[in-house]
Chain A
């Protein structure tokens, strides 16, 4: 479908004029129709809020990847102490608004005087990395087990479903904190910050998979009874063929929706863990950790609390806006 298509109208059903223009563009295309991805993309393009969210997400990803370069560009790095900028009496930054200046765009930290802008930029790496990868872990486990449960039914389904119910009824945050905090500080050849990141990704992903698993199981259950699956089976298709060629393509949409909705939750969980002191360890910068050290200065240096808080807010809001848009765009019942 490389030929330019008609401009989308507010109505999902193509009007007679459109169909005529489609027919003009090429008979084959008119018969082929638009793919789900195409329809979704056209709906998404019209959703200004979702697009804004998507653009912000892209910008954040670029910031995370280029963090060292960006910090270098403003001539700062997240580790250097600037004690000369700290008021020795109150140990808060000199000057107003937490020491914001041309050199230090977001000011400096109390006590150490480390540059807040550089730490925010570097902190985005932790948030996005954990947010994305833990969603990937959840999607992989959830999809595999969800399909197994839905496709094979019987005791496989019963066992997997009980495990999912159990995990959902667990006091999750408590268990995530407990698991993350008892994990050793060195494993699989990883040390320091890498271990904490690895453990957080695994544990957050592990507690997230039942949400995906439930949806995939339900979809698989209803899909496997459809006529087209029956048709494939009567043509002699094997189980694996039906699984990968008939079922999986139809599960892609719900999986994408739940993944985009899960990332912001995971980012919030990571920030919460770092806030509680069981996430990444200092001196690695993370937003949750900055907020946690800001507790002691919320009255004397409020900017120190506002900046990481707003960073988390913007990131999570952007993902939520984008996720809502993707959901509406992929919704087959949606009228938009």
Chain B
């Protein structure tokens, strides 16, 4: 078990390093190829050449790309000092650098926005797991019934609807049309009910999309498992149906669902870009979208790092849960 975890952890760290190098590559090499100078971008449109050179020296943008990647890594753990002649700025660890546009430090931006995205992802995940898995199991048990067909039609429609459409529709109906909800984001620290009101529509629309996917997967997996020999054995030895389904069948059904949950949750925590844009939630996704439009590399790097970290941590948790659910994994 321990060896298994160490192996997973090692793979995760390698993955993280690869991702950072790739992001650096995308945002340093491609603009170079397209003839855009990041130092000039930092200074602004009407910059004099001396100021551009000073920025290039201070931020180390003239260094070879490997030196820049190394400095970036070092900054995260040990802090970083930017210096050009007499102009010195110290950035304490964890240092993710400064925004090319607003010249703010990146780390506070990330810590400000992370809770918004985390709240969105976790709240929606609870909803979609509850409703998606329940709908899928019921459909599998009552295969071919009116409920099954109805649920599967709704699920198919659900996976075909883009979130930025259902989101706008829900805003138009519940917030503007009926006036039930004031869909304005309020931080949790300001007011709990305000926060709840601002998050309820994003949660439901996001959960609807994922519940549809999970219901389809759950139904398919459950149907396959109900045909297995060990289920027949369980029934044959006289176990009551709730025990057969709840204990024997559910355990195997959960395996693919957990895999999906790990990937989906990780990706969402790293930035639910579409949901946050639709509902104007000030989370990581919105920050990274603005940064991409402004070619603001340090923010993109920061968010990408958090996203990848979230994906990796979520997958790691799933791997641990696997070992709990499926004894074969522990022995492997």
Interface residues of A (CB under 8 A from B): 166, 169-175, 177-179, 181-184, 264, 268, 271-272, 275-278, 288, 291-292, 294-295, 298-299, 302, 305-306, 308-309, 312-313, 316-317, 320-321, 324
Contact = CB atoms under 8 A, between A and B. Distances in A.
A173 B300 CA distance: 13
Contact of A182 (B34, B168, B312, B315): B34
Contacts of B303: 174
Nearest to B278: A295
B239 interface: no
Nearest to A299: B176
B325 interface: no
A178 B26 contact: yes
Contacts of B47: none
Given A298-B171, A302-B172, A264 B274 contact: no
Given A171-B304, A272-B274, A320-B160, A312 B165 contact: yes
Contact of A171 (B160, B271, B274): B271
Contacts of B172: 298-299, 302, 305
Query: What 5 pairs across the A-B complex have the smallest Cβ distances?
Result: A309-B165, A184-B34, A317-B160, A316-B160, A299-B176
A294 B15 contact: no
Contact of A174 (B161, B169, B263, B304): B304
Interface string B7-21: 000000001001100
A230 B271 CA distance: 50
A264 B162 contact: no
A173 B164 CA distance: 14
Contacts of B19: 170
B156 interface: yes
Interface of B: 15, 18-19, 22-23, 26-27, 30-31, 33-35, 156-157, 159-162, 164-165, 168-169, 171-172, 176, 263, 267, 270-271, 273-274, 277-278, 288-289, 292-293, 295, 300, 303-304, 307-308, 311-312, 315
Classify the secondary structure of B's interface with A.
Answer: helix
A214 B315 CA distance: 19
A199 to B, nearest CB: 11
B165 A313 contact: yes
A320 B34 contact: no
B295 to A, nearest CB: 7
A320 B155 CA distance: 11
Given A171-B311, A181-B293, A317 B156 contact: yes
Given A299-B176, A305-B165, A276 B160 contact: no
Contact of B300 (A170, A178, A312, A320): A178
Contacts of A264: 160
A312 B26 contact: no
A264 B176 CA distance: 31
Given A177-B289, A177-B292, A184-B34, A272 B168 contact: no
Given A173-B267, A291-B168, A305-B169, 15 more contacts: A170-B19, A171-B267, A171-B270, A171-B311, A183-B34, A184-B34, A272-B164, A275-B162, A291-B165, A298-B172, A299-B172, A306-B169, A309-B162, A309-B168, A309-B169
B168 A276 contact: no
B83 to A, nearest CB: 29
A291 B292 contact: no
A154 to B, nearest CB: 20
A171 B308 contact: yes
Nearest to B156: A320
A294 B315 CA distance: 37
A171 B308 CA distance: 7
Nearest to B161: A313
Contacts of B277: 275-276
A298 B164 contact: no
B270 A174 contact: yes
Contacts of B18: 166
B149 to A, nearest CB: 10
A21 B278 CA distance: 61
Contacts of A184: 33-35
Contacts of A292: 164
Contact of B176 (A175, A291, A294, A298): A298
Contacts of B267: 171-173
A317 B157 contact: yes
B97 to A, nearest CB: 17
Contacts of A288: 162, 164
B156 A181 contact: no
A275 B274 contact: yes
B73 to A, nearest CB: 19
Contacts of A277: 293
Nearest to A310: B165
B162 A271 contact: yes
Contacts of B169: 305-306, 309
Nearest to B28: A182
B194 to A, nearest CB: 21
B271 A174 contact: yes
B273 A177 contact: yes
B27 A178 contact: yes
Contacts of B274: 173, 272, 275-276
A292 B307 CA distance: 25
A278 B277 CA distance: 13
A178 B168 contact: no
Contacts of B164: 272, 275, 288, 291-292
